[in-house]
Every structure is written in C-alpha cells, then in structure tokens.
C-alpha cells in the first residue's frame, strides 16, 4: 500500500499520512473515463427540481438538467421521468473543469418523432401534408404530428420571361422592354405563363393540404426534404 506523508513532527514522534493523496483526483479520473460523447449507464443518486444527479463513481456525480431529460415535451419535475436508484443511459454533453461539473443528457439518446418518420418512410414516397409556414420559396410542411419537412419551390418563371425579353430587345432594338415585361408578368400571375400559379409561393397559404414527394431523408441531421406535387 502506498501512502503520502503530509506532516512529520520528530519532537512529537508523529507522522501524518494520507492514502487519498496517492489515489489521484476522482474528478480527473472520471473525466478520463467519460469524455464528451461517451455513454454512461449508472444509477440516479438524487433528484432536484432543476435536474437529476447520476453516480459516476468515487463520489463524482454527473448532472442531467431538466431540459435534457426528455424529448419533445416539457416536464414539471425530473421525478416525473426518473427515480432515485434507477439505472439510466445518458451521454456526456459537457465537462467543465473549472466548476468541476459533468453535464449529461438523456433525451439526446431518445428517438424523436422525426427519427421515427425517417425510419418508416423512403425517398420517392408521395404523401399528403399540411403547409405550416410559407417564406418566399421555402415551405415548412407538417408531414406528421409534430414532424416538419422542407420544400423549396422552383424559381418563378417571371425571371425567365424577363430575361428572354431583355435578349429580344438587344437583338432587334425595336421592342418596348417595359411593356413586354409587364404583359408577361400579368400573364404569369394569371397562370398563363406556362406553369400553373398554384405552384408558386404566392398561391400557397398556411393551412393548405397539398401533395408532396419525399426527395431526401437525412437521419443524422434529422432533415426531411420534399417537392411539391400538386
């Protein structure tokens, strides 16, 4: 057994020894054992209103903040989800050396509704979904309860028509560009410019139910990409 000599007093014939000093810092050892991104499977030691504490060994606890307990819903208290003594599986989110704190997360290892949707669907599928938000040519589409996908609309044909008019004027020199552009723009707005007006961002409104096709599913980024069908 190795011990550290803390104090030696020859006059009193006393030697102060410490076993703890030779064992190293438990917090430092815990950080080495559980770096950021590693998985912890340990029991809950205590629960407070702001979070739950998990035993990492040698008297070191990691904390799960209430916001990192469960996915996609708010809870009033961590005890609604975890219990003292329960062994939980968590991921190390952050290590604060200065404050000697190790932050853990439960929800980061739990599948979300988006994860479930991506696992259950394939690229190329056509589905009916509700338009949740419209911003320029980008739509936010609710493809399932609490699951959003993105749909980028094609560039409006007004730009192509304007470009074509400009080219015509430069070659002949006899075309009134402003008049031609205005006429083409008016036709385009009426749905007579070659592409139905229903497929432009101006015609699509929040709350509408449309048909979309899945073009890309990214499980890592939790992203669902769509294209408008009708």
* CA 12 to chain CA centroid, nearest Å: 65
In three-state secondary structure terms, 8 is strand
Q: 171 falls in which pLDDT band (50, 70, 90)?
A: very low
Mean pLDDT for the stretch of residues 126-131: 94
Q: Quick one: pLDDT at residue 185? A: 59
* pLDDT confidence of residue 23: 60
- For 211, the token pair is 């048909």
Nearest alpha-carbon partner for 131 in 199, 210, 214: 210
pTM over 0.85: no
Q: How many CB atoms lie within 10 A of CB 59?
A: 9
Q: 50 φ, ψ to 5°?
A: -95, -10
| pLDDT at position 158 over 50 | no
CATH number of 113-170+177-228: 2.40.50.140
Sorting pLDDT into bands at 50, 70 and 90, what band is 129? Answer: very high
Instruction: Tell me the pLDDT band of 74, cut-offs 50, 70 and 90.
Output: confident
Confidence of residue 111 (pLDDT cuts 50, 70, 90): confident
Please give the DSSP secondary-structure letter assigned to residue 155.
P
Q: Look at residues 119, 124, 136, 130 and name the one whose alpha carbon lies nearest to residue 202.
A: 136
Q: Give the CA distances from residue 173 to residues 120, 158, 162, in Å, rounded to whole numbers and listed in that order.
A: 59, 22, 16
Q: What would the two tokens of residue 207 be?
A: 């709350």
- Specify whether the CB–CB gap between 65 and 53 falls below 8 A: no
Taking phi over 0 as left and psi of -120 to 50 as alpha, with beta for the rest, 4 belongs to: beta
Token pair 């430092």 in the structure block, residue:
28
- The values of phi and psi at residue 196, to 5°, are -55, 140
One fold for 26-109 and 113-170+177-228:
yes
Task: Indicate whether 164 pLDDT > 50.
Answer: no
Supply the mean pLDDT for the chain: 78
Identify the CATH number of the domain defined by range 26-109.
2.40.50.140
Pick 17 or 24 by higher pLDDT.
24
Ranges of each domain in the chain:
26-109, 113-170+177-228
Burial of 69 (0-12, 13-18, 19+ CB in 10 A): buried
pLDDT above 80 for 168: no
83-87, 196-200, 211-215: segment of lowest average pLDDT: 196-200
**Lowest-confidence range among 37-41, 47-51, 72-76?**
72-76
């Amino acid at each position: 057994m190795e011990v550290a000599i803390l104090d030696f007093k020859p006059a009193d014939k006393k030697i102060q020894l410490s076993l703890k000093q030779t064992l190293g810092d438990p917090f430092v050892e815990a950080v080495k054992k559980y770096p950021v991104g590693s998985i912890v499977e340990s029991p809950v030691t205590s629960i407070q209103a702001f979070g739950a504490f998990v035993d990492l060994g040698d008297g070191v606890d990691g904390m799960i903040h209430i916001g990192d307990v469960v996915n996609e819903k708010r809870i009033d208290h961590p005890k609604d989800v975890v219990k003292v003594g329960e062994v939980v599986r968590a991921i190390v989110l952050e290590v604060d050396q200065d404050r000697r704190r190790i932050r853990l997360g439960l929800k980061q290892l739990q599948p979300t509704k988006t994860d479930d949707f991506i696992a259950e669907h394939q690229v190329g599928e056509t589905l009916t979904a509700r338009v949740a938000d419209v911003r320029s040519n980008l739509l936010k589409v609710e493809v399932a309860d609490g699951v959003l996908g993105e749909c980028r609309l094609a560039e409006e044909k007004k730009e192509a028509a304007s470009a074509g008019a400009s080219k015509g004027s430069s070659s002949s020199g006899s075309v009134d560009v402003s008049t031609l552009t205005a006429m083409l723009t008016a036709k385009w707005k009426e749905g007579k410019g070659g592409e139905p007006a229903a497929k432009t961002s101006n015609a699509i409104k929040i709350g509408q139910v449309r048909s979309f096709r899945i073009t890309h599913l990214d499980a890592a980024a939790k992203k669902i990409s769509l294209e408008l069908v009708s």
